[in-house]
Amino acid sequence: MDDGSQRRVVLGIRVCAGAAFVALFVQQSAAKGLPFDRERLLLWILGGLSVTCFGRPWRRSAQLVTDWLPFVAVLFAYDYSRGLAQEVGMPLQVTPQLHLEKLLFFGRVPSVWLQQHLYHVGEIRWWDVVVSVTYTTHFVLPFVVAGVLWAYDRGRWRRFVNRFVVVSFAGVATFALLPSAAPWMASDMGLLPHLERNVGYGWSRIDLPVATQLIDKGRLVANPVAAVPSLHAAWALLIGLFFWSSVRRRWLRPLLLVQPLLMAFTVVYGAEHYAVDVLAGWAYVAATFVVCGAVERWWARRRGPAIDPPPVPAFVPVAPLVPSVTGAHADAPLDADEVVVLV
């Protein structure tokens, strides 16, 4: 079997394995629900990436392990540190962000205003469905993006993961040093009118309770005073900015901001964050891009440009070198077989 035929056979087997994997995913999703929880989601992503490694050099499978195991470990460390941050013992900030919110919005609190005008107890409108879907993308989209990037471009995958990890742990550090109350907590304290944490209500409209269960489970294990910065807003903007320069048609680039803006609306409408928390999350992303970009440029300069080997000269038959022609023979012409040609 020649190389072309062998490649076609390997490609065919890989396509069949991919189709079987998709069929298994559909069957399991129908039986157990979509994998919104991070553990199952990562297992499915790693399983799909394993299929793409079939028929490729063994180094590809080794890269899958060496790249993703540290990343998964960092994710679990992040989850653990979120809960640990509230054990540091720093005083809870309740009123500073509330006062700043009122200062920026002329005495109003956007979460209160939005729920007074858009939310009605017992009624699920179409925008509540959009809010629920948008909120759930926080638990899914960054990891799906990471999987796709790894499959197509490991270099870009590294840059994305670097930014994701930096902004996440910068947020965790802030949660520990500056624990802050969200609008729903300020409402429970009597500082604001009643606010509903309604970001999951829209799922009841499309009969997908597994997503609501994911949100409820996340609230049980999450740090309740991790409001500043909003990592929901930060992760959404990070993805949009990361792909900004990849869109060649500049007039299409603003579409990358639709999801970050929807996420900002979602967490404010759902009383999960103040608008100032969203702005803080966006500021963390901007700072992360600046810092990571500077470090990457420094590292590239430190490594230096790749040095290509000198070109191999064309082969030219060369006669043995003759002693230098001096004296009486200095002006005598050289024979043709005594000419040395350098290319």
pTM confidence score: 0.81
pLDDT attached to residue 233: 97
Residue 278, classified by CB atoms within 10 Å of its CB into exposed (0-12), middle (13-18) or buried (19+), is: buried
Beta carbons of 157 and 150 less than 8 angstroms apart? yes
Distance CA 25, CA 333 (A): 82
Angle between helices 110-118 and 258-269 (to 10 degrees): 90
Residue linked to tokens 């759930």: 136
Beta carbons of 135 and 215 less than 8 angstroms apart? yes
Strand partners, 180: 93, 226
Angle at 220 between CA 214 and CA 224, to 5 degrees: 115
Beta carbons of 268 and 110 less than 8 angstroms apart? yes
Alpha-carbon distances of 49 from 26, 43, 109, rounded to whole Å: 17, 10, 45
pLDDT attached to residue 183: 96
Residue linked to tokens 């992303």: 285
Distance CA 81, CA 83 (A): 5
Beta carbons of 175 and 77 less than 8 angstroms apart? no
Mean pLDDT by 10-residue block, N- to C-terminus, for the chain (343 residues)? 70 83 83 76 89 84 89 78 68 93 95 95 90 91 94 93 93 89 94 92 71 57 80 96 93 95 97 96 97 92 64 44 45 45 36
Beta carbons of 173 and 90 less than 8 angstroms apart? no
Which of helix, strand or coil describes residue 340? coil
Distance CA 139, CA 148 (A): 16
The whole-angstrom distance between residue 224's C-alpha and the CA centroid of its chain comes to 24
